[in-house]
Structures are given as C-alpha cells and as structure tokens.
Amino acid sequence: MTTETSATLDDVTSIRQQSSTRGVGYGSLWRGVPRELGFLLLTMPIAIIGLAVLQSLFWTGVGTIVIYVGLFVLIGAFYTARGFGTLELVRLRWAGRDEIARPQWEPADKPRTFLRSAFGPFVNGHYWLYLLHTMVVNPIVSIVSWSITIAWTATALGGLTGWIWDRFLPNDGQTFFLSRVIVDWATGTRSTFDPVVGDQILYIVLGALFAVTLPFVTRGLTVMHNGVALGMLGAWRSEALQREVADLSASRGAAVVAEDQSLRRLERDLHDGPQQRLIRLQMDIATAERKLDADPEGARAILAEAGQQARDTLEELRALSRGFAPPILQDRGLVSALESLTARSTVPIQLETEIAPGARFAPEVERSAYYVAAELAANLAKHSGATAGRLFVDTRTDAQTGAVWLDIWLTDNGNGGASLVDGHGLRGLDERVRGLRGELVIDSPVGGPTRIGARIPVAAPQ
C-alpha cells in the first residue's frame, strides 16, 4: 500500500464508534457548568413568554369557541405549546442531558390528512401535556430553579470579589457586622478584631463555599428540569412498544426477503458453476468408458481432464461454503474468519479490531457478521475500482440503553457512487441487516471514497 493510499484511507476511516459516556467526577461537573448556567438563566424568561402566549391563545380560544373561531385558535395554542415543549427538549440536549424520545404526534398506520393534522391535537394526549407543561408546570419550576441559580451564583461571585468593590461602598455609621455577630455568638465574649476585615474574610469564605458547590446545584436543577420533561414531554412506553412491534414486523419481513434472495443466489451459483461442471464431468466419464477398449490413451487423457474438473468443482463448492459459513468461522471464531477473508481478497484490505481473537458470539451473529463483511469485500473487488480497503470491526455499548452493538465498517479509496439499488448486492445486504434489527449506512459520494457500515445488535462476546 503506498503512502498516498494510506493517507487517503486514514482521512476517511475515523470510524471508531465510541460510547458517549458522561464523566461523573468533579472536573466533569465544572465542565458542564457553562451550558447548565446558560440553560437555567434562560429558563424563566422563556417560561414566562410561553405562559403569556399560551394563556392568551388558550383562553381566547375557549371564549370564542361558540362562534367556531375558537376551534382554530385552540389548534394554534396546541401547536404553539408543542413548539415551546420541543424547544425545552432541544435546550436540555444542548445543556448536556441525554436525548429524550419525541412523542408520536400522528398515527403511523394512518395517512396524514388536513383534518387529522388540524383536529388531531384535541384527541392526542401529548398536546394536552405540552399545554399543561407550558402554561402551569414549567413556569412554577422555572421560577424556583431560576431564583436558586441567581442567588447561588451571585453569592459565589459577590463573596469572592467583595474585597475588591466593598471598599468603594459607603459604610459610615454602620454598626452591624455579620462576622462580629458570629464570633461573639460562638465564643460568648465581645470580640475586638476589625469587623470590616472580618466581614471581608467571611464573605470570601462564603463565596468559596457557594462556588465549590455551584456545579452540584446547576447539575441538580438541570436534572430536575430533565425529569419534568421526561415525564411530560417524552414519548410514552406504549408508543415505544408499538414501534418495537412495528420494527419486529419489518425485521421479520426483511429477514424473509433476505433469506429468499440468499437461497436464489445460492441456487443460481450452484446452477452456473458446480452443476455445469458435474454435467461436464459425467459426459467426460461416459466418453472415456466408450474409448477405454479402442483408445486407452485417449480415455486416459479424458479421465485426467475429468479429474481436473472434479478438483475445480470441489474448489467452487468450497468457495461457496466460505461465503456462508466457512469452517474456520465455526472452529476459531469471527476474528480469525475475517483475517482469512481479508487475506484472500484480491484488493488489499487491512483489518482493524479490538475484539480478542478467541472471543465468540452467538453462531447466528457470527454467520451474519461474516456474511456482511464478505459481501462488502466482494463489492469492493468487483465495483469500487479501489486499490486498498480498511475493514473495522468492534463492539460498542450504547450509553443510554446499555445495548451492545457489533460495528462493521469497510472503507476504500475507490470511485464511490455506491447506493441501494433493487436487485443488487447492497439492497440484499440492507434487507439482511434489517432482518437482524440492525442498520446499514452508506456514505459513497461520486469520486469516492466509500464508507459502508453495518451495526448488528449482539450480546457481549464470551
């Protein structure tokens, strides 16, 4: 592989899918303070604006519903509440919280029509929850969180910087000094230290205390808003179950289609390859039998050619079996099988993986993963025009769900332009991956490079 080719591949193969784990140390809390402060300081102004707008729209709609105009005003109120609720979800994501699943606004199994879009909010509970959140819950919660944020931040900043600006404030006639009150109460005697200096030291200590605890306060208040949003603005579990059932149905259908295509492909390959060779072998043996007495030398030559035909047929059958489940996959596992696959490729492919060579997955997962890699390698050799490729295989844990995925990415420096076309290999590969409840991703601009990846749900390797 040339230096230029390697550089090209390095530019396009930063594929390592790392799990997005959020740090829990004190330093990570401080790193989140700017975003959390930005979220909390804007919360109450946005909540008050939402309250004013929604109160006006909703009660105007209720008051004019008898003349039918109110219906359309209420529809506007519902969609406005949806907008404010969505803004809250976006702001929480920006503040560093995990993505909250959005509600299902319209039935997935029914066509979208004007009447359903216009009057659907009246029977969709999510719109009512968004309305309640914007009109009642969020203003109350926001006032509390905004007040605590302002007070805590102001005390921290004021205490730490008070020794700078306190000297410029007039204090003539001041008789109350907090530091003296505290010391006198604690010691039971009348103190004699300078109370002005004592108050400055006290304010610095209080400022430092509030500053040290500020990350915990901003994180706690942000988490409180996130909990409210999760309960009122997120999707319901029943919707997740419906989507799960729909995904299972789609996966089952895709698996059936992919299996049918695989069987048809195997039938075609057997017909065009080994079957034709076996017919030729049968004819050669019959010819040799007829010549055995009259022309022994000719019969011997025909039998030698027949032997070669038998060896070629056996090699083709082995190649076909390697495309589905090679013996090395069953004996030594996925990594060893992929090493053998890349070693046999006519285009140089570099294998990158952090999976231990002896790690084993479920047999069906290993077969599917090998099939995906073999198909990608075959497409690379036949259609890409590439001179080098890089195969990356690794497991990844989803930070939100805890699910384990097997990522398979093949990158090449070819001509690009790969796409899902009915009747072609990538379409069948996509259906096979979807049948496993996985996902196929294609990034192949014209002119290259091409990155094709599949992720398959798996259990942790053994």
Amino acid 80: pLDDT: 93
Residues 300 and 343 in one domain: no
Over range 27-41, report the average pLDDT: 90
Over range 233-237, report the average pLDDT: 81
pLDDT tens across 66-113, in order? 888 888 899 999 999 999 999 999 999 999 888 888 887 776 656 666
**Residues 399 and 21 sit within 8 Å (Cβ to Cβ):** yes
Residues 103 and 223 in one domain: yes
Q: How many CB atoms lie within 10 A of CB 216?
A: 12
Amino acid 150: pLDDT: 92
Distance CA 155, CA 451 (A): 53
Question: 458 pairs with which residues across the strands?
Answer: 404
Tell me what the pLDDT averaged over the chain comes to: 76
Distance CA 343, CA 340 (A): 5
Is residue 455 within a helix (H) or strand (E), and if so which, with residue range?
strand 450-458
Amino acid 21: pLDDT: 41
> Which amino acid is residue 113, in one-letter code?
T
**Token couple for 45:** 């102004």
Q: In which band, very low, low, confident or very high, does the pLDDT at 129 lie, cut at 50, 70 and 90? A: very high
Residues 53 and 180 in one domain: yes
Over range 437-459, report the average pLDDT: 81
More confident residue, 261 or 41: 41
**Tokens 């942790």, residue located:** 460
DSSP 3-state assignment of 456?
Answer: strand
Distance CA 127, CA 61 (A): 15
Q: In which band, very low, low, confident or very high, does the pLDDT at 174 lie, cut at 50, 70 and 90? A: low
| Residue 240 forms part of a structural domain | no
Alpha helix (H) residue ranges in 273-410: 274-291, 296-324, 327-332, 334-344, 363-383
Amino acid 354: pLDDT: 85
Residues 74 and 214 in one domain: yes
Nearest to 250 by CA among 105, 436, 80: 436
Residues 417 and 454 in one domain: yes
Amino acid 4: pLDDT: 42
**Dihedral, 255, 323, 458, 376 alpha carbons, nearest 10:** -90
| Residue 243 forms part of a structural domain | no
Range of the domain at 264: 251-324
pLDDT at 2 over 50: no
Distance CA 343, CA 151 (A): 66
Residues 222 and 74 in one domain: yes
**Token couple for 429:** 């590969």
pLDDT tens across 359-416, in order? 888 877 788 788 888 888 887 887 777 788 888 888 888 766 677 888 888 888 887 7
Residues 219 and 273 in one domain: no
Residues 75 and 175 in one domain: yes
| Residue 110 forms part of a structural domain | yes
- Which residue among 176, 208, 235 closes a domain? 235
**Torsion 420-426-428-432 (CA) sign:** negative
**Token couple for 62:** 């209720």
Residues 152 and 287 in one domain: no
| Residue 373 forms part of a structural domain | yes
Amino acid 398: pLDDT: 74
pLDDT tens across 182-209, in order? 666 666 666 666 565 666 677 787 888 9
Count how many domains the chain has: 3
Residues 214 and 224 in one domain: yes
R_g over Cα of the chain: 35
- Which residue among 324, 346, 370 closes a domain? 324
Q: In which band, very low, low, confident or very high, does the pLDDT at 181 lie, cut at 50, 70 and 90? A: low
Residues 230 and 341 in one domain: no
Over range 101-127, report the average pLDDT: 75
- CATH number of domain containing 366: 3.30.565.10
- CATH number of domain containing 266: 1.20.5
DSSP 3-state assignment of 412?
Answer: strand
pLDDT at 7 over 60: no
pLDDT at 242 over 90: no
| Residue 4 forms part of a structural domain | no
Q: In which band, very low, low, confident or very high, does the pLDDT at 313 lie, cut at 50, 70 and 90? A: low
| Residue 20 forms part of a structural domain | no
Amino acid 45: pLDDT: 93
| Residue 301 forms part of a structural domain | yes
- Which residue among 304, 324, 344 closes a domain? 324
| Residue 446 forms part of a structural domain | yes
* pTM summary value: 0.53
Residues 335 and 192 in one domain: no
Distance CA 442, CA 238 (A): 32
Distance CA 427, CA 431 (A): 6
Nearest to 142 by CA among 26, 44, 34: 44
Distance CA 5, CA 14 (A): 15
